[in-house]
Structure 1
């Protein structure tokens, strides 16, 4: 199909997404229907001469009535190439006049409507082999796409418009036949694998899949070999767990190598904290400068967990720096967190974050040379305009030795440098902010803070996790129904599968950290609603949205920078199955994972959330239930350990929950280490419990001083 589709399409121009800052004048020559929206992305296009319409589920009714093709342009507020195309093309009056005359023109914020984005991104990937944003699609009046691409110059875009407008008028039957093929391809891609032949999840098959993945590793810089690299927390979580369970030193070395490479790279903001969206080069030096909440949420959890595994002090610094960045820059007064920060200021990418040599000389004076050595001020670590992207020296201890510094003196210097550079930044134009509060992304941050609390026992992390959960339940949840994102006065778009799945998962984790059964009850309620709204009986998986009113049903299973919501649902079912002794939940989680087995064999790196579930099913999985008045203290101690394939929960009182039944005694606290609901003899101390766990990292033979 790909070859046929390509015949009608101009070559795809793929660009990454970073938004440019744009000041809008107060007097507008043009205003379109986007002016009534609250999405920052849509509002940025509200005064284009193009007669943009916001997406509605009835948009194609108008297209059929007027017999017009539809231009569907999808992006988000921190997308540089989206706004470059706006400035060059969508503000051009002749272009706008042609679009207004011949097309119905629709703008979509992909973060508000990820369902629309997923369907039409699939179309563009089928047509061209890759995709990106801005996502510009031309569809028939029935919604089926006939053209798709990303960024276009004004000349290219006008050529596309005229070509398809003429084709529609002269040979619409050909376009309808072509669009039917595209729509069929979209449906095939977005459906779940067949459940006809379930595959056993075996230890040997997982070892084989991991061995195949190893061939794609970048052993020099970490991560999978690629020109551009994203931090993929679930992949690294899988490797850390797998390395312990299989006693695989190569995997353990590689996971730590990747974590260390990222930790000292330019993808981190070493002054204000927080991670940029991804690296444009294989060695992580030069980032795209957007800061996304979902990245920072997952990376916080990753490095908190990695600290338990490797005890590297920089990992702890990263967690606290992400927290500081989010608290200072992304926190809504009510407890939720905003979606993203722009890459560009004053029309220049990375200007807020980067430094010229002259600036640094002026700011640092006599300390410049030491600063330059520590933060790797090398010409190769610069943008095209010569501005430096700060990197981090590989080892503070080595740096201290090489420069005759004590660790305390280096700490003082670093604090002083950061204070000086933060003050200088405060005089710059601050990046624009996407102030939507997205339910699923905030749920990921709950998990980030919960993992940080478990690792460092810092109550402030737990309080922030609770506050986010409270904000979502108060502002985004009513009558067992979630909305996807919150903004005062904004549209209340119905929540998607990812919202229910991640919030349920976050509440399971809150329950593990606090032992408060209210969180468990919330997770159970959300899981039941997920079944009611999204379960697809035919496939045994879950639809991305409740109503099938797009051109294709979406059943997402692939893991990327955001875990597949189906994999998250399966994890929730697996965990609740173990806590509640709910056999039907356990069986469904197992069946979903078994169905994914062939894809794990072919491409484990694309399905690592499923890989984590496969680890649970193919290896010994422990339930640790702590019951008694001292349960909270003992679970905190257990949660501070790196325990692969282990669920830690507890109850301070007698509880009807299955895993605690008949195990409570007054004035005593017991730790039960269980396998498949069958428990070993109870013990009273954490060291005794750890001795009962086969994959106890403290008993392993790994030499972690790599």
Structure 2
């Protein structure tokens, strides 16, 4: 479909780019091609800045150009630590023949899904409607008006050229057919974002909640934990809900399922037993062979989960997981000036997981006579089928006490050996080429980490964790705010401005928790101000939910209500409204929270696994939810005691002095410290000991 003159023109253009597009100082950064991504700060976009494809970032001007030229758009979405994104970049987008085809017939746009989750959600929905599933890289072809006519994930070079040829031919010969198909897909996208507002709470009962969990339970993996599936993602918010549900209902079976899941994850290859931290997901049902990306949101949420689990199950391993994961984040993902980076790549020197895997001979040389015991304890498993060339993945014994008995080793000796082995392998691994780090600071993900630090402080009592939570909040407040609005990502030189509802929802949640743990009014004020912003700029007049963006120029308003690897921002907002309503004595906020939950009730019974954060709110609606209010000179120390306990249905607030805040009104008595157990402002008789208050609960 390409003539000789076109090829000559492109070659001349490429040469001109090479001659005039060079930097002032010739260096290793000189490339044959440089496209418009070169001015971006996203590591993912910069990975494609020297493709021969004429990539550009998403912008109004690119869309206007498509309309003016009546050209289709290729929108390719991925992220910097995505292995198959790297593969397709090298195989396909670096190919000149592919570039010639794309540049002549399309406006080509690259999107970092971590910078623009709104675009990712919209077009992922399109691909799921077209193909039944999705993934990354996400490649969609759009009409000039932004409506999708094709969507898929990874393509080989030949597959991609075949797709492009077919779409080009169809657009030239039968554009009406493409338009009709695009309209149908766009209608489907719109339908997935329509939630009928309801105020009927008759379905919010203990019975309906029990039924939803029972339906979900049919899909649980009783042996390996989590849900059944060929691949497994860790869903911290789901396990968090089930832990609370088991406690309030006294369901020991569910409590054991959560414990088994946590144990399997902690001992599997999905956890980095050498350097700490969790990988993104397991490529098998047994949590053994991970996909080797490390994401901030994964580790932030798992710090919270294992902190809570430590309070419930009292297992030392859970405490160790929390400490090691925090140490990993401090050493590997924290920026020089504060703020935590978004991701660590799966690849090292072009090999997926190469940084984390070991050859048998390599381990034997390092460990010498201790190799046999080491390999038994760590259940070494091959990551491929060729035993001779196998790269080994380190897993861990699930029971240290049993291992000590079976191998005639004193428990303290085993602890010493594990520390020695970890240090030995960690130091050796440090000599390797490290995976690349995506150094964007994402507001919502860092807010999750603020909560992680707070939860670790509550469970372990280490005040350094609280200090880190406060420092991280201060960083976000300083760097990720523009004119009283939040931005989604921060990186020096970045032009990103727009904050999404997930940024506001998660940061409100974090500031409420900071207020609860510190008693400092400035955090409650910040939470109230952020809520005012969301209410003013994000409320959807039709669904009464919160829109994903302040102003949407996309093909559909985006209302994100289901959980993914992070919880639904609307569900988080509903929790925030309930807590702010309690703390401010504002019934309008608690009623808004219940209204949002009522609108979601019909989805929960058969789909609890996708809406566990809503189920958690239902749990706090059908069972009592308390505010524990502590007032007096000993309030802070007593609050610390409450926070160290596992209480699944309460928020703790404390003040050492008289306060004008509604939650403390008429509760302060000079020279005394009293504990009030309340429900939406209605309090039981005040008591002076933690034991008495726990009995009232």
1:25-104 aligned within 5 A? 26-104=29-107
Q: After superposition, give the CA deviation of every residue in 1:114-156 in whole Å (9 maximum; x if it has no partner).
A: 1111111110000010000000000000000000000001111
Matched, 1:388 2:392: yes
Of stretches 445-454 and 648-657 in structure 1, the one that deviates more from structure 2 is: 648-657
2:159 aligned residue: 156
- Residue 642 in 1 paired to residue 646 in 2? yes
| Structure-2-length-normalised TM-score | 0.95
Shift of 1:379: 4.8
> 1:454 maps to what in 2?
458
Give per-residue Cα distances to partners, 1:413-454, cap 9 Å, x unaligned: 111111110111111000000000000000000000000001
Contact 1:381 1:390 in 2 (8 A): no
In 1, Cα distance between the equivalents of 2:415 and 2:454?
Answer: 28
Are 1:147 and 2:178 counterparts? no
Question: Gaps (5+ residues) in structure 2?
Answer: 1-26
Q: Distance in 2 between matches of 1:377 and 1:295?
A: 24
Moved more, 329-338 or 293-302: 329-338
Partner of 1:437: 441
In structure 2, the partner of 1:211 is: 214
1:298 corresponding residue in structure 2: 301
Cα–Cα, structure 1 residues 207 and 629, in superposed 2: closer, same or farther, change >3 Å? same
Give me the whole-angstrom Cα distance separating, in 2, the residues matched to 1:177 and 1:170: 14
Structure 1 partner of 2:515? 511
Q: CA deviation at 1:581?
A: 1.1
Matches of 2:483 and 2:206 in 1, distance apart?
43
> Aligned-pair distance for 1:532?
0.9
Are the equivalent residues in 1 in contact too, given 2:279–2:292 (CA < 8 A)?
yes
How far the C-alpha of 1:190 sits from its partner, in A, is: 2.1
* Alpha-carbon separation, structure 2, partners of 1:381 and 1:139: 39
Residue pairs, 1:338-377, within 5 angstroms:
338-377=341-380
- 1:491 Cα deviation after fit: 1.4
Q: Classify the secondary structure of the residue corresponding to 1:137.
A: strand
Alignment RMSD (CA, Å): 1.3
- Shift of residue 278, structure 1, vs aligned partner: 0.3
Deviations 1:27-59 (A, max 9, x none): 200000000000000000000000001111342
Cα deviation, 1:507-566, whole Å, max 9, x if unaligned, reads 001111111111111111111111111011221100000002111100010012110000
Q: 1:85 to 1:199 in 2, by over 3 A?
A: farther
Structure-2 change in CA distance of 1:196 and 1:454 (3 Å)? closer
| Matching of residues 116-515 of structure 1 within 5 Å | 116-195=119-198, 199-379=202-382, 385-515=389-519
Deviation of 1:378 after TM superposition, in Å, equals: 4.3
Who is 1:671 aligned against? 675
Distance 1:192 1:405 in 2: 59
Matched-pair contact (CA < 8 Å) for 1:192–1:556: no
Which residue does the alignment assign to 1:568?
Answer: 572
Quote the offset at 1:389 in angstroms: 0.8
Post-superposition offset of 1:195:
2.7
Conserved? CA contact 2:199–2:595, under 8 Å: no
State the Cα distance separating 1:567 from its structure 2 match.
0.4
Aligned length: 670
The answer to whether the 8 A contact 1:629-1:668 is kept is yes
Contact 2:200–2:598 (8 Å) recurs in 1: no
Alpha-carbon distance between aligned partners in 2 of 1:559 and 1:153, rounded to the nearest angstrom: 31
In the alignment, the residues of structure 1 paired with residue 378 and residue 612 of structure 2 have an alpha-carbon distance, to the nearest angstrom, of 33
Matched, 1:105 2:116: no
Deviations 1:153-181 (A, max 9, x none): 11110011011111111111111111111
Shift of 1:324: 0.6
Distance of 2:67 and 2:401 partners within structure 1? 68
- Structure 1 CA distance for aligned equivalents of residues 266 and 594 of structure 2: 35
Maintained 8 Å contact 2:216/2:606: no
- Compared CA separation, residues 63 and 414, structure 1 to 2 (3 A): same
Alignment-derived partner of residue 17 in structure 1:
none
Return the alpha-carbon distance in structure 2 between the equivalents of residues 542 and 199 of structure 1: 23
In the alignment, the residues of structure 2 paired with residue 480 and residue 326 of structure 1 have an alpha-carbon distance, to the nearest angstrom, of: 29
Contact conserved, 1:73 with 1:106, CA < 8 A, in 2?
yes
User: Using the alignment, how far apart are the partners of 1:96 and 1:378 within structure 2?
Assistant: 41
d(CA) in 2 for partners of 1:125, 1:223: 23
Pick from 514, 524, 532: which aligns with 1:520? 524
Cα contact 1:112–1:484 (8 A) shared by 2? yes
Contact 2:514 2:523 in 1 (8 A): yes
Which deviates further from its counterpart, 382-391 or 421-430?
382-391
Could you report, residue by residue, the CA deviation over 1:63-107 in whole angstroms, capped at 9, with x for unpaired residues?
Answer: 011110000000000011111111111111111011101110000
The whole-number CA distance in structure 2 between the counterparts of 1:216 and 1:207 is: 15
Q: Quick one: structure 1 residues 96 and 292, their matched pair in 2 at CA, closer, same or farther if it must change by over 3 Å?
A: same
How many angstroms apart in 2 are the aligned matches of 1:517 and 1:401? 53
Structure 1 residue 620, shift from structure 2 partner: 1.2
CA distance 1:207–1:525, shift in 2 (3 Å): same
> How many angstroms apart in 2 are the aligned matches of 1:126 and 1:304?
38
Which whole-Å CA distance do the structure 1 matches of 2:553 and 2:414 have between them? 59
Aligned to 2:18: none
Between 234-243 and 382-391, the greater mean CA deviation after superposition? 382-391
> Quick one: which of 686, 692, 703 aligns to 2:690?
686
1:192-212 CA-partner distances (Å, limit 9, x unpaired): 244376553100110111111
CA contact (8 A) 1:480 1:525 kept: no
**Residues 204-260 of structure 1, C-alpha deviation per residue, up to 9 Å, x if partnerless?**
110111111111110000001111111111111111111111111111111111111
* In 1, Cα distance between equivalents of 2:282 and 2:222: 17
SS of match in other structure, 2:189:
helix
Deviations 1:291-321 (A, max 9, x none): 0000000000000000001101000000000
Report the CA distance between 1:334 and its aligned residue: 2.1
Aligned counterparts of 1:294 and 1:204: Cα–Cα separation in 2? 33
